[in-house]
Amino acid sequence: MKKLREVLLILLSSDQPGEIAAAAAVIRRELAKAGRDIHWLAEQLARIMEAPAVSTHVPGHVRRTAKEGIWWKQLEFVINKLVFLNDREVEFIESLFQQWSLKNATWTPSPKQLRWLDAIYNRLQQGDPFGRY
Does residue 42 sit in the same domain as residue 63? no
Residues in the chain where the model's pLDDT stays below 50: 54-68, 132-133
pLDDT tens-digit readout, 17-48: 777 788 788 888 888 888 888 888 888 777 76
Confidence at residue 2, expressed as pLDDT on a 0 to 100 scale: 62
Sequence-separated (6 or more) residues with CB below 8 Å from residue 21: none
pTM above 0.75, yes or no: no
Note down the domain range covering 73: 55-133
Tell the burial category of 96 from Cβ atoms under 10 Å away from its Cβ (0-12, 13-18, 19+).
buried
Does residue 7 sit in the same domain as residue 62? no
Does residue 69 sit in the same domain as residue 117? yes
Confidence at residue 69, expressed as pLDDT on a 0 to 100 scale: 63
Confidence at residue 112, expressed as pLDDT on a 0 to 100 scale: 94
Does residue 108 sit in the same domain as residue 61? yes
Domain final residue pick, 34, 50, 66: 50
CA distance 81 to 90: 10
